[in-house]
Amino acid sequence: MSAVMSSLVSYGSDSDSDNDSGSDSGAEKVQSVESDATAHLKPLQPGKTMSLAVLNSAPEVAVKESVETGTHLDPSLKEVSYNPTYETMFAPEFGPTNPFRSQQMAAPRNMLSGYAEPAHVNDFMFEQQRRTFSTFGYALDPSVDTHQAGSYSYIGAVDEAEKNKGLTVFESGGKKPEKRKKVKGGDAGEIDNFLGPWAKYVDEKDVAKPTEEEQKELDEITAKRQKKGRNEEEAPAEEKTILHVKDMYDYQGRSYLHAPQDVGVNLRTADAPDKCYLPKKQIHVWSGHTKGVSAIRLFPKSGHLLLSSSMDCKIKLWEVYSERRCIRTFIGHSKAVRDICFNNTGTQFLSAGYDRYLKLWDSETGQCISRFTNRKVPYCVKFNPDEDKQNLFVAGMSDKKIVQWDIRTGEVVQEYDRHLGAVNTITFVDENRRFVSTSDDKSLRVWEWDIPVDFKYIAEPSMHSMPAVTLSPNGKWLACQSMDNQILIFGAQNRFRLNKKKVFKGHMVAGYACQVDFSPDMSPLSPQSFQQMENW
């Protein structure tokens, strides 16, 4: 307690009082301290007062703003959001240096890769030297003063620079050749003597006739060009037919087009079987084509005949039941046959060949009725299935068009031109009011009959070309053989959407257009390869 009181007494006293008190004895100090410490408990004595030291509870302290003259900026900042003063911008850096900073890191830099010295190059001079270097292989050395002349002031092909005397691409080394002068055509007022811009040059020479040798060379060149350009149209191949059976008609005068009744199957019924089963063994193989078979078509309704087209330019008609013979061969295409199609009754069929011809044949007599061509390769052909439109058919061509012909006139009556690639398939849907086409442009388009604008266009980045399309027996689904080794199912009514839940995978057909077919009860779906026709 006494120590505390002594510190309070000493607070506020000056140095002289301290020095004076230091000369007194220790006992007197203690007594004075004790008397002063209890002075506040004693009543005040009249005429005698005690002065206490004044305690400054709020001394003057230096303010931060008076100490720091400015706000320090981070030297690494590239952008300042306010206008600092000069003293703030160039104030020295404080604090310890980074001990882990290497000399390379501490070097001054004004760009990411280092320090670029300030230099000024005129844009025209830079472009001039750049083009000169890319053209002649030399340019001025940028490290040497341009006023100093000499071979050492160039870089690149110095020899070329000395040869051209350092000329740039914008400087001409020689004089420009004089323009050719024309014969004066007289006054424009004289119509007969005025030549104008049609006047000949002064030094122009008239072309003389070629000699005999030159004429022969010109004739040979012209003949080669005509062969290469195919200016002369190829004449259609001669049509003929071969009957392979002895009796074309039976004892009642019926031809082979009549559906047989002695094969153990009712071929006249239109009812589908209740259950279809997968084949287990091979029954028969038709052999007669010398090259690959491109398409096969069953006879309408009865299916007792089979029509096949092949790459050997021939079309053959086969029996499906009984002896399974080849009945007739149709010869009339000079190149491979791409597609075939029966009409509704089967009495006629169309064939499309790579010789750019579509031909209409009589199934019974084998006679070629008419020919159609637009000088393009037909890839597919289809009759209109309506009974009242059997005179119309459509063909997908190699020139990205679908062409509609009339058999009666032999003329094109409509063109559907919207695809971006060759048309591969044509399939009629929605009770034959519409048809679906696929193309090499990896798209599927739906058309209204006789309207040359597609009202539905389906194309996605993941889609591949679909060279084979088949309509289901109930008319609700389209099975499309895609070239990415899968069979896609599209709805054939209204929206024509892809059914993602019905995608069939597991077979390898990429690069080859395998056709697809449904069973009558729609239970199995299988791709068919027609390299060899087989009956299962």
Indicate the pairing of strand 314-319 with strand 337-342: unpaired
The ranges assigned to domains in the chain are 240-429
**DSSP codes joined into one string, 393-420:** EEEEETTS-EEEEETTTTEEEEEE---S
Longest dimension (CA), the chain: 171
Gap between the Cα atoms of 444 and 498, Å rounded = 11
CATH fold for domain 240-429:
Methylamine Dehydrogenase; Chain H (2.130.10)
Report the alpha-carbon distance of residue 410 to residue 396 in Å, rounded: 17
Tell me 239's DSSP state: P
Are the C-beta atoms of residues 404 and 393 closer than 8 Å to each other?
yes
- The rounded mean pLDDT for the chain is 81
Mean pLDDT score, 270-296? 87
Q: Does residue 18 register a pLDDT over 50? A: no
- Would you say residue 231 has pLDDT above 70? no
For residue 448, pLDDT beyond 60: yes
User: Counting Cβ atoms within 10 Å, is residue 356 exposed (0-12), middle (13-18) or buried (19+)?
Assistant: buried
The string of DSSP letters for 13-76 reads --HHHHHHHHHS-HHHHHHHHHHHHTGGGSPPPTT---PPPPP-SS-----HHHH--SPPPPTT
Residue 307: φ, ψ to 5°: -105, 130
Range with the poorest average pLDDT among 135-139, 224-228, 257-261, 330-334 = 224-228
Overall average pLDDT of the 291-313 stretch: 93
Least confident of 23-32, 126-135, 322-331, 394-403: 23-32
The least confident of 44-53, 266-275, 289-298, 478-487 is 44-53
Confidence of residue 17 (pLDDT cuts 50, 70, 90): very low
Q: Say what angle helices 26-37 and 2-10 make with each other, to 10 degrees.
A: 90
Residue 490 identity (one-letter amino acid): F
Please say whether the beta carbons of 145 and 119 come within 8 A: no
Q: Answer yes or no: pTM beyond 0.75.
A: no
Q: Where are any strands of DSSP class E within 299-346? A: 305-310, 314-319, 326-331, 337-342
Tell me the mean pLDDT in the region 472-501: 90
Give per-residue pLDDT as tens, 394-416: 999 999 999 999 999 999 999 99
Q: Which residues contact 129 (CB under 8 A, 6 or more apart)?
A: 139, 140, 168
pLDDT confidence of residue 350: 96
Q: pLDDT confidence of 209, banded at 50, 70, 90?
A: confident
Give yes or no for a contact between 420 and 427, defined as CB atoms under 8 angstroms apart: no
